[in-house]
């Protein structure tokens, strides 16, 4: 174990109210592309002369539902994705009674699949979809398997993913819960995010606890505010540190 990971283990050991705030980099080990990395969706050449942001915007969804769903199904739905070592390590940390909440910008539902119970999904979830007419909910598979625009079996209304599209606001109840969790934490662990998407990136400003840790492959604007910065793969770092923490508790 290197010095930085050992430092992280010590902080995890002494902290009792940890909150994890994560982004797309958390799920790359589950083969879900990071929107903003060199291999991510935002760097791909698209056949249409539109940015990915425009393709998943509220305006595009309303005006061009066929094209919206074509892009959405091809680039944002990964039904075969499984939790990776980071998701699993965070669930273990919660089971230990140390991690009190996960705040995520991701929409893949993998934190819950790994066993995490308290998860604030800032941008919603692809696992939930609802009829815009009657409100009936549908699973991801229904949308994934539908030809073209998915419609409600009950009333024929258009089904919309329960995700926050560009131009849409965050759910205020979820945002308030995330802010409260971060404000009460004694340790904030930030991972897999470049901290450039607002308002989510501004949540770091609510932290007043003791330990601020950043785990990301590339540098972020908040690196100079952190007690510890680790520029490595978050799945590897989290598995190693939580495994070491478990060993300490057992011994």
The torsion angles phi and psi of 192, rounded to 5 degrees, stand at 65, 30
Distance from C-alpha of 232 to C-alpha of 235, rounded to nearest angstrom: 9
Torsion sign (Cα): 172, 174, 178, 180: positive
Helix axes 85-95, 234-250, angle to 10 degrees: 30
List the catalytic residues: 123
Return the biggest CA–CA distance within the chain: 60
Alpha carbon separation from 169 to 14, 30, 95, 174, 222 (Å, rounded)? 37, 28, 32, 11, 24
- The whole-angstrom distance between residue 46's C-alpha and the CA centroid of its chain comes to 24
Spell out the residues 6+ positions from residue 174 whose beta carbon is closer than 8 angstroms to its own. Answer: 120, 121, 122
Closest CA to 165 of 81, 69, 101, 80: 69
Helix axes 3-14, 234-250, angle to 10 degrees: 50
**CATH architecture for segment(s) 3-32+83-123+169-250:** 3-Layer(aba) Sandwich (3.40)
pTM of the model: 0.92
Q: 34-63 burial, b for 16+ CB within 10 Å, e for fewer?
A: bbbbeebbeeeeeeeeeebebbbbeebbee
pLDDT digit string (tens) for the chain, length 251 residues: 899 999 999 999 999 999 999 999 999 999 998 765 545 554 454 455 677 788 889 999 999 999 899 989 988 999 999 999 999 999 999 999 999 999 999 999 999 999 999 999 999 999 999 999 999 999 999 999 999 999 999 999 999 999 999 999 999 999 999 999 999 999 999 999 988 877 878 999 999 999 999 999 999 989 999 999 999 999 999 999 999 999 886 54
- As a residue count, the chain comes to 251
31 in the Ramachandran plot: left (φ > 0), alpha (ψ -120 to 50) or beta?
left
Residues of the chain with CATH 3.40.50.1220: 3-32+83-123+169-250
Alpha carbon separation from 218 to 24, 31, 232 (Å, rounded)? 13, 19, 8
């Amino acid at each position: 174990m290197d010095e930085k990971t050992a430092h992280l283990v010590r902080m995890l050991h002494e902290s009792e109210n940890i909150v994890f705030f994560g982004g797309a980099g958390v799920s790359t080990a589950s083969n879900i592309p990071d929107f903003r990395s060199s291999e991510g969706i935002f760097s791909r050449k698209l056949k249409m002369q539109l940015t990915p942001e425009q393709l998943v915007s509220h305006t595009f969804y309303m005006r061009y539902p066929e094209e919206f769903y074509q892009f959405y199904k091809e680039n944002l739905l990964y039904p075969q994705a499984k939790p990776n070592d980071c998701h699993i390590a965070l669930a273990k940390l919660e089971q230990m009674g140390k991690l009190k909440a996960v705040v995520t910008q991701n929409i893949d539902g993998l934190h819950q699949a790994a066993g995490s119970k308290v998860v604030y999904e800032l941008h919603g979830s692809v696992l939930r979809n609802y009829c815009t007419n009657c409100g009936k909910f549908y699973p991801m598979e229904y949308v994934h398997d539908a030809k073209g625009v998915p419609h409600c079996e009950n009333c024929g209304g258009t089904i919309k993913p329960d995700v926050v599209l560009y131009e849409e606001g965050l759910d205020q109840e979820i945002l308030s819960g995330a802010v409260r969790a971060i404000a009460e934490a004694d340790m904030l662990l930030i991972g897999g995010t470049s901290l450039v998407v607002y308002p989510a990136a501004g949540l770091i400003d609510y932290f007043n606890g003791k330990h601020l840790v950043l785990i990301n492959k590339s540098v972020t604007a908040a690196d100079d505010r952190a007690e510890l910065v680790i520029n490595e793969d978050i799945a590897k770092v989290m598995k190693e540190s939580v495994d070491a923490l478990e060993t300490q508790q057992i011994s």
